[in-house]
């Protein structure tokens, strides 16, 4: 059976990213910031991420009032002209309500603008506002994603596309423009369904696990399943990433104080729509100490990320650094600390103890 854990020899391929949905923020006085300014602030956040050595910067797609970004490729195109090395991706594109061929043409354009730094993460999306907005039926949720992922998989190779399905007219030797200069790197985002994990392997695409609640180690079986499926399909080894929320400040108390009200606000706004019970500081603290919420000082967050990488067995860790209406200045400091202190410390921890689980900084509390 394939071992999902990360060993010392794997550290060279380990990368780190940042994700944001462009949460509509508040200013230092608690007043809402216009969405237009939030988008400009995200550009500044991406520039900072590039300057402090972070590997990936990804922005998600939403069509609702609490998130400012509905067109990730537009934001990423602006960043392409203002950054030098960081990859520019999505977290995620809601593929079910988009046109895979238009997605590839947009990201072929972005890849040209960025000189080969574009990438995609696609998913079904946990928010469904785009379905009625763009004229898709929710009862077709599964079929739309399955067929569009199949078409996208053909399109990202850059070769002429011959394809048929039930959701659109067939294609025969169709080319896209501008032509891709390389196969477009594409990840499939999965929330924890075994069928979704196997689907990613079937399409020979890397896996991005959205671990947004509960202990991260419960996802290790999905990583094992993914590697086993790829082995059976003859795909070779494909990378696995993790996407989880968090916030970094100078010390644990400051990080908790800064994030808690915004995280709880965000959790309860979404929870009211989905029928969840109300959340509070007890749930926040439980997630912060034992779940998938990476909050604290650089040392605390580094230990917790190293533990996740070690126990789940991943090649990439993306921190969702914005959760709720946290002010831009606090987000910028979190990004700075992540790039300059957390990432180097994670590498040190894994190199020093490559075959054992990291101690939790909360164990001594």
Q: Which superfamily does 8-352 belong to?
A: Luciferase-like domain (3.20.20.30)
- Residues 5 and 36 sit within 8 Å (Cβ to Cβ): no
Whether residue 2 has pLDDT greater than 90: no
- Residues 166 and 139 sit within 8 Å (Cβ to Cβ): no
Spell 89-106 as b/e; 16+ CB within 10 A means b.
Answer: bbbbbbbbbbebbebbbb
Whether residue 357 has pLDDT greater than 80: no
DSSP state of 217: G
User: Tens digits of per-residue pLDDT, 253-272?
Assistant: 999 999 999 999 999 988 88
Q: What is the dihedral of CA 70, 203, 185, 207, to 10 degrees?
A: 80
Mean pLDDT of 3-16: 70
* Rounded percentage of the chain residues whose pLDDT exceeds 90: 88
User: Tens digits of per-residue pLDDT, 191-209?
Assistant: 989 999 999 999 999 999 9
The conformational region for residue 22 under phi > 0 = left, psi -120 to 50 = alpha, else beta, is left
Position 5 scores a pLDDT of 57
Mean pLDDT of 124-135: 91
- Residues 42 and 331 sit within 8 Å (Cβ to Cβ): no
Secondary structure of residue 255 in the 3-state scheme: helix
What is the band of 363 on the pLDDT scale with cuts at 50, 70, 90?
very low
Q: Which of 142, 137, 147 is nearest to 169 (CA)?
A: 147
Average pLDDT in the chain:
93
Position 8 scores a pLDDT of 45
Task: Count other C-beta atoms under 10 Å from residue 309's C-beta.
Answer: 26
Position 6 scores a pLDDT of 55
- Residues 88 and 114 sit within 8 Å (Cβ to Cβ): yes
Beta strands in the chain (DSSP E): 15-20, 56-59, 87-90, 93-94, 120-123, 161-163, 171-174, 186-190, 207-210, 240-248, 294-296, 316-320
Position 318 scores a pLDDT of 98
What is the band of 187 on the pLDDT scale with cuts at 50, 70, 90?
very high
Secondary structure of residue 163 in the 3-state scheme: strand
What is the band of 358 on the pLDDT scale with cuts at 50, 70, 90?
very low
- Residues 264 and 313 sit within 8 Å (Cβ to Cβ): no
- Of 5-19, 64-78, 96-110, 238-252, where does mean pLDDT reach its minimum? 5-19
Q: Please give the residue that has the higher pLDDT: either 299 or 7.
A: 299
Position 272 scores a pLDDT of 87
What is the band of 365 on the pLDDT scale with cuts at 50, 70, 90?
very low
């Amino acid at each position: 059976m394939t071992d999902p854990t990360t060993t010392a020899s794997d550290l060279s391929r380990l990368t780190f990213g940042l994700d944001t949905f462009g949460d509509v923020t508040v200013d230092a006085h608690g007043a809402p910031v216009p969405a237009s300014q939030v988008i400009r602030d995200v550009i500044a956040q991406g520039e900072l991420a590039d300057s402090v050595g972070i590997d990936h910067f990804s922005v998600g797609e939403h069509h609702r009032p609490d998130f400012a970004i509905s067109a990730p490729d537009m934001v990423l195109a602006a960043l392409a002209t203002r950054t030098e090395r960081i990859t520019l991706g999505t977290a995620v594109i809601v593929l079910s309500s988009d046109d895979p061929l238009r997605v590839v043409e947009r990201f072929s354009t972005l890849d040209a603008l960025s000189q080969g730094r574009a990438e995609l993460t696609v998913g079904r999306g946990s928010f469904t506002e785009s379905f009625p907005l763009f004229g898709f039926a929710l009862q077709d949720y599964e079929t739309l994603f399955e067929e569009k992922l199949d078409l996208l998989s053909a399109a990202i190779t850059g070769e002429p596309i011959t394809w048929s399905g039930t959701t659109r007219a067939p294609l025969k030797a169709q080319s896209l423009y501008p032509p891709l200069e390389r196969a477009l790197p594409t990840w499939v985002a999965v929330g924890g369904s075994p069928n979704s994990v196997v689907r990613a392997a079937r399409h020979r695409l890397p896996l991005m696990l959205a671990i947004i609640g509960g202990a991260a180690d419960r996802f290790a079986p999905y990583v094992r399943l993914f590697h086993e499926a790829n082995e059976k399909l003859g795909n070779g080894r494909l990378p696995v990433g993790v996407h989880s929320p968090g916030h970094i400040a100078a010390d644990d108390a400051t990080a908790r104080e800064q994030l808690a009200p915004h995280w709880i606000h965000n959790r309860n706004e979404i929870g009211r729509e989905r029928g969840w019970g109300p959340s509070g500081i007890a749930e926040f603290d439980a997630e912060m100490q034992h779940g998938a919420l990476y909050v604290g000082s650089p040392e605390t967050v580094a230990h917790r990320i190293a533990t996740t990488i070690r126990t789940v067995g991943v090649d990439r860790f993306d921190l969702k650094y914005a959760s709720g209406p946290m002010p831009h200045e606090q987000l910028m400091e979190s990004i700075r600390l992540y790039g300059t202190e957390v990432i180097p410390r994670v590498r040190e921890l894994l190199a020093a103890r490559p075959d054992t689980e990291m101690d939790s900084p909360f164990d001594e509390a």
